[in-house]
Amino acid sequence: MRLKSLQISGFKSFADKTTINFEDGITGIVGPNGSGKSNIIEAVRWVMGEQSAKSLRGGKMPDVIFAGSQSRQPLNRAAVTITFDNSDHFLKTEFNEVSVTRKLFRNGDSQYLINQTDCRLKDVLDLFIDTGLGRDSFSVISQGRVEAIFNSKPEDRRVIIEEVAGVLSYKQDKQKAELELNKTNDYLARVNDLIVELQSQLEPLEEQSSLAQDYLDQKKQFDKLDKTRLVTLIENLQDENQQVAEKLTNATQLVTRYRTQTETFSGAVDQLKAKRQTLEAQKDQLQSNLLEATKKFENLAGQQNVTSEKNKYQQQQLAKLAETIKENSQKLSDYQTQKLALNQEIATDKKAVERTQAKLAELSEEEIQKKQTEIQTNIDHLQTSYIEKMQQLAQIHNDQTNLKKSYEQDSQQQLHVNADLQKLKNQLNELTTGQQQQQQHVTGLKRVVKTAEDQLKETLNSYQKLSEQQKQSQDSWLDALRVYQQAKTRLETLTSTDVELRGYYQGVQNVLKNRTNFQGLVGVVSELIDVPEKYTKAIEMVLGGQLQQLVTGNDQDARQIIQYLTKKRAGRVTLLPLSRIRGKQVSDHVKQEVQHLTGVEGIAADLVHTSDDLKLVKQFLLGNILIATDLKQATEISKQLSTRLKIVTLDGEIINPSGSMTGGVNRRQSDGLLTQKQTRQNLADQVKKMKTQLDGRESLVQDLKQRMQAVEAKGTELRQQFNDASDHFKDAKSKLEITKNQITELNRRIAAVDYEAQQNGDLQSDFTSRSTELDAQEQQLNVELEKISTDTDKNKQKLTQLHLTQNESQQALAQFREQLTNARVALTQAQTKFNALEENIKKTQLLVKQAEQQQTDLQTDQESQGNESKSKQAELTGIQGLIDQLKEQLKTQKKDLVELEKALANKEQELQRVQELGSVASDDLQEIKIKQTRLNEQIDHALNDLNEKYHLSLELAKKQTVELSSEDLQRELKLTKKGLAEIGEVNVGAIDEFQRVSERYQFLTSQKDDLTTSQKQLLETINEIDTEAALRFKTTFDKISASFSKVFVKMFGGGKAKLELTDPEHLLTTGMEIKAQPPGKKFQRLSLLSGGERALTAITLLFSILEVNPVPFCILDEVEAAFDDANVTRFADYLRNFRHQTQFVVITHRKGTMVECDVLYGVTMQESGVSKMASVSLEDVSRKETNP
């Protein structure tokens, strides 16, 4: 395989589309500094998957896109395509030619292509993995890479061997296996946690299930006995009703007989009276008068009796009318009171509507949007100005850079001149002042060396202490991390859907798992109420299964859920439609009474919290429940209360209104729904607090790492100072010997050098003046940029604040609109009530008026009857006197009438007796009818009970009865009812829940076994990978180490070198130390060599790797810049030796390297900021020179 071509477009300084074709052998790229040579090698690294913008000399990845110049606009895209000749199928693909393309757009979008087909970054990396061409391989050595090799830690250098050994793919496989193992461990931990949780549920659920089943069995028996009781009751009532019907028939016949006898006796009496009249008619006129007077007397007396009875009736009617008037007057008074209250309520609602409408009118978005537009316009203007200033600043920087380059060249020359002059003068002074002054100079250098050595030791001690502190902090952080991860895993387990629904009935779980299907579902009661921890147990105990009731918006939503559960046979639920339920309230006088009782915590509904739209649910469930401190206080409160409230203590004991008490603790009672909710909240708070502490410890670890890096850098600097001081000391001693032979030449050279220094000084003065001018301009631009940046930030803050204000206004607007709607609804309801009340007042006033009119009529009639009665009484008195007078006159005639009167009296007496018997018979008949009505009502009531409780008719119920006597039936009913009461409240859903939890427990146990097996297999796989990777690493390391030792001798012309493992016992983590002994020096680490020696040693390592594992191509970026001419020659010779097996691309300034290149590419910047390419084949040039 070989590198065929590189196409660059919009990448850094290559604004135009540029194609570089690479030939076999050595391709050189040359050009002045800043022309963009290194951008070529960075383009190669970038297209091969480099992800670090910093390693590409940028701050962020979009920095690689051409940023524009004075004459060109910035581009929006960078694209690089590299093409390989893969005819030998070095790359693992079937294509003979492979092209890799990477594109990046300024908006951050990117694209990778292999042979013009879209792919992933991973596909590009996998293409080059274990080929020796990866990002961290020695196939591409950019600026600073050589220095990074000898400055890096031994552990970081091992990646060089891993790339050659092909270990990276094994490391990736290991990472995947470890990731899978971590997932398996996490899953196993979660499964274990779930198993533990399920184990804690199983026994309580089993107990609840058994209790519930016992309850259902006894309830079934009770229902059968109760059906028998109702059927027996109905049959007995029907039998009794039949007997009563027979009695009714007999009583009716008896009343009829007495009525017939009364009519018979009345006729006999009338006959006797007629006979008496006949006798009296036969008498004289006196007797006739007496008879007439007697008849008139009897007639008047009868009328007087009728008038008296009528008067009594009218008195009763007047009393009833007075009571009616009184009641209706009281109703009118109540209606008037309600009318006043409704008037006040209507006025209040109208004011609320007016206030809400006023607030709505205040919330205008137009002003906010206008301000936002103004601020955004200011920001745009500021940003445009900022870009212009930045362009001016960039131009100044370019001018400064060019001036600095010229200044540095002249300064460098001046330094050389001054150094030469000072050196000559010093040498002259040294020679003239004698040996003593020379010895003092040497002594001073010794002190400098000693000081540098002491500082170096002190720095190394500081580094050691910081290393120990960092290790302790790291261990502490790891411990905290482990605890945090455990708590976080526990929280994730508890907040998972399956665990969160634990403890809910099957029907509730099925609804909550599919809650997206029910738009009208508000939620479950346990999640909708917020209970302080103090009252959690009390609320759990008193509500029990009601915590699992579901709240819906209306009846239709509730019916939808019930239809779903019925269709899916997914359990039962209790629903609370907000449109139907009514809150329970405790009257004000009861609240006042409760406030003065000892041990009262308050009304439960007042102690828990819900959102405003769910207060009705809270009142419905808890509005008539009182919370007390303990059972003793609760008992006293129950005795003292005049009303019947349910009382619950903080420990969960309950006193029912009927007087029954519930309490105690189950042997293995699991946490209730509210307790589980509180546990999740507490654990979440704990995890949040632990995360804060963990971040603090991590910051401390990072701070120590930074301090260690600073100390390490300082140590490197001091080590360099120590080496420089030592070199200076040796140079001083050498110069002392050679100076004596140069004294004659010094005087002549001093004069010439002094003149040259004067000329350079004038040039530097001009440079200084121009530099000062540019600095002033730069400073002014920086001040303007700072001001623009400050103004932009202020405007952005204002814009952000306006956004927040707009959001708050919109939220307030929505809230006020809702309030307005509610206020209007309340006003409409109040007006409706007011209209109904007005109608009731009118009706009641009409009733009062009618009753008063009737009362007036009766009173007038009574007055008239009273006058008439007085008149009749006076007339009776007169007639009575006449009769007495006539009787005196007719005494002789009475004897004849005595027998007649006796007979008449007997008949009347007999008539009275029959009438009394008839009256008694009528009363008996009425009682029988009432009894019959009562029996029919009892039968209907029993039939209704049978239908409502069991949905059965009497005929069907008779088929489901048991054969028991009345006494046995009552005894069995009493025993069964007592058994149900002893069982108490049960969770019927626990039967299905126990079955579900048992099945899940078995499933999770099976899952645990599978995960354990998978865990073992993954560990074995990781061990196999480690073994193979270690073997490959060791084999490759030994080969490269041997080659390095041989190549080092050739590159340095002697000496020796070797590669050492820092921890040979642990091949997977060991570092690699490079030790070298250049000719004439002792064995030492790479960091102790001079800069040129280190660079040459690193290049030696490259050639060693190429000998062991040749790569198709290698790109080098000025790696020989620090070499002297002799080493450059050796470097070029080695390139020439490897050119047949490896294709080289060299960016260089050195002539010795250029000479060996087959093709030279020149990079120029004819247009400012834009790189251009020019190429020449040296073979063609050589042929032209040979054959002119």
User: DSSP letters along 505-527, please?
Assistant: -HHHHHHHHTGGG-TTEEEEHHH
Higher pLDDT, 921 or 555: 555
Confidence at residue 1006, expressed as pLDDT on a 0 to 100 scale? 86
pLDDT over 50 at 213, yes or no: yes
Sheet of strand 1056-1061, all strands in order from the earlier edge strand to the far edge: 1056-1061, 1072-1077, 1084-1085
Strand partners, 97: 85
1078-1122 per-position pLDDT tens digit: 887 877 776 777 777 877 888 888 888 878 888 888 888 888 887
Binding-site residues, please?
32-39
Give the pLDDT band of residue 1181 (cuts 50, 70, 90).
very low
User: What b/e readout covers 597-632, taking b as 16+ CB neighbours within 10 angstroms?
Assistant: eebbbebbbebbebeeebebbbbbbbbbbbbbeebe
Longest Cα–Cα distance of the chain, Å, equals 211
How much is the average pLDDT of 392-399?
A: 68
Q: What is the pLDDT of residue 461?
A: 79
Question: What's the pLDDT at 65?
Answer: 93
pLDDT in tens, 942-999: 888 878 877 888 788 778 778 778 788 788 778 777 777 766 777 778 788 888 888 8
Structure confidence at residue 1184 as a pLDDT band (50, 70, 90): very low
> What are residue 1038's phi and psi, to 5 degrees?
-60, -40
pLDDT of residue 80: 95
Lowest mean pLDDT segment, chosen from 207-221, 657-671, 1135-1149: 657-671
Amino acid at 311: N
- Give the integer Cα–Cα distance in Å for 163 and 59: 27
Q: H or E element: which one contains 111?
A: strand 110-114
Q: Is the pLDDT of residue 538 over 60?
A: yes
Spatial distance between the Cα atoms of 484 and 477, rounded to a whole number of angstroms: 10
Q: Which residues are annotated as a binding site for ATP?
A: 32-39
SS3 1149: coil
- pLDDT value of residue 498: 45
Which of residues 224 and 321 earns the better pLDDT score? 224
Cα R_g (the chain), whole angstroms: 58
What's the burial of 266, exposed, middle or buried (CB within 10 Å: 0-12/13-18/19+)? middle
Q: Is 1026 helix (H, G, I), strand (E, B) or coil?
A: helix
Q: Which residues pair with 103 in a beta bridge?
A: 79, 111
Residue 11 has pLDDT above 90, yes or no: yes
Are 1086 and 1077 in contact by the 8 Å Cβ rule? The answer is no
**How far apart are alpha carbons 605 and 616 in whole angstroms?**
10
Phi, psi of 17 (to 5 degrees): -65, 120
**Model confidence band, residue 926 (pLDDT cutoffs 50, 70, 90):** confident
What is d(CA 471, CA 705) in angstroms, rounded to the nearest whole number? 10
**How do residues 1130-1158 score in pLDDT, each as one tens digit?**
888 888 888 888 889 999 988 888 988 98
Residue 1062 has pLDDT above 60, yes or no: yes
d(CA 716, CA 153): 13
DSSP 8-state secondary structure symbol assigned to residue 1024: H
The tens digit of pLDDT for each residue in 22-32 reads 888 899 999 88
Q: Which H or E element spans position 756?
A: helix 743-889
pLDDT number for residue 943: 84
SS3 (DSSP) at 724: helix
Indicate if the pLDDT at residue 334 is higher than 90: no
Work out the pLDDT band at 283, boundaries 50, 70, 90: low
Count Cβ atoms below 10 Å from residue 303 Cβ, excluding itself. Answer: 14
User: What confidence tier does 120 reach under pLDDT thresholds 50, 70, 90?
Assistant: very high
Question: Contact 988/216 with Cβ under 8 angstroms?
Answer: yes
In terms of C-beta distances under 8 Å and separation of at least 24 residues, what long-range contacts does 1018-1026 make, across chains too?
A: 1018/177, 1018/180, 1018/181, 1018/184, 1019/181, 1021/177, 1022/174, 1022/177, 1022/178, 1022/181, 1025/170, 1025/173, 1025/174, 1025/177, 1026/174, 1026/1068
Give the span between the Cα atoms of 64 and 53, in whole angstroms: 8
pLDDT at position 104 is 93
Q: How many CB atoms lie within 10 A of CB 1127?
A: 21
Residue 740 pLDDT level (bands cut at 50, 70, 90): low
Rounded-to-10 torsion of CA 832, 838, 840, 844: 180
pLDDT at 731: 63
Mean pLDDT, residues 499-522 taken together:
79
Q: Which of 324-338, 454-468, 713-727, 932-946 has the highest mean pLDDT?
A: 932-946
Residue-wise burial string across 1098-1112, b where 16 or more C-beta atoms lie within 10 A, e elsewhere: bbbbbbbbbbbbebb
What is the model's pLDDT at position 1018? 86
Query: In the predicted model, is pLDDT for residue 418 greater than 80?
Result: no
Adjacent-strand bridge partners of 1172: 1164
- The mean-pLDDT minimum among 431-445, 455-469, 698-712, 772-786 falls in 431-445
The residue written with tokens 């499964």 in the block is 191
| 246 CB neighbour count, 10 Å cutoff | 10
Question: Do 4 and 83 touch, CB atoms closer than 8 A?
Answer: yes
Give dist(CA 233, CA 954) in Å, integer. 11
Specify the range with the lowest mean pLDDT, choosing from 41-50, 410-419, 947-956: 410-419
Give dist(CA 646, CA 635) in Å, integer: 11
Predicted pLDDT at 436: 60
Task: Evaluate if residue 490 carries a pLDDT over 70.
Answer: no
1091-1108 helix and 1125-1138 helix, angle to the nearest 10 degrees: 10
Region 752-769 average pLDDT: 63
Closest residue by Cα to residue 1162 from 1150, 1152, 1147: 1147
Only one residue has tokens 């004849």, namely 896
Check pLDDT > 80 for residue 422. no
Higher pLDDT, 134 or 568: 568
Give the chain's length: 1188
Range name among 461-470, 777-786, 828-837 with the lowest pLDDT average: 828-837
Mean of all residue pLDDT scores within the chain: 78
Q: How confident is the model at residue 229 (pLDDT cuts 50, 70, 90)?
A: confident
Q: What is the pTM of this model?
A: 0.39
Give residue 1120's pLDDT: 82
Range with the largest mean pLDDT of 295-304, 598-607, 799-808: 598-607
> What's the rounded mean pLDDT across residues 145-170?
77
Give yes or no for a contact between 194 and 1008, defined as CB atoms under 8 angstroms apart: no
**Residue 670 pLDDT greater than 60, yes or no:** no
Residue 1173 half-sphere exposure toward CB, CA atoms < 13 A: 24
φ, ψ at 757 (rounded to 5°)? -65, -40
**1003 pLDDT higher than 70:** yes
Residue 673, φ and ψ in degrees, nearest 5: -65, -40
Mean pLDDT lowest among 438-447, 816-825, 964-973: 816-825
Cα–Cα distance for residue pair 47/433, rounded to 1 Å: 65
What is the tens place of the pLDDT at every residue in 352-370? 767 766 665 655 556 566 7
C-alpha to C-alpha distance for 1152 and 1131, rounded to whole angstroms: 9
pLDDT at 1177 over 70: no
Q: What percent of the chain has pLDDT over 70?
A: 77
Q: Quote the CA–CA distance of 302 and 300 in Å, as a whole number.
A: 5
**Residue 454 φ then ψ, to 5°:** -65, -45
In which band, very low, low, confident or very high, does the pLDDT at 752 lie, cut at 50, 70 and 90? Answer: low
pLDDT at 281 over 80: no
- Name the nearest CA neighbour of 1171 among 12, 14, 252: 14
Contact 227, 1047 (CB under 8 A): no
Q: Which residues contact 1179 (CB under 8 A, 6 or more apart)?
A: 1158
- SS3 call for 2: strand
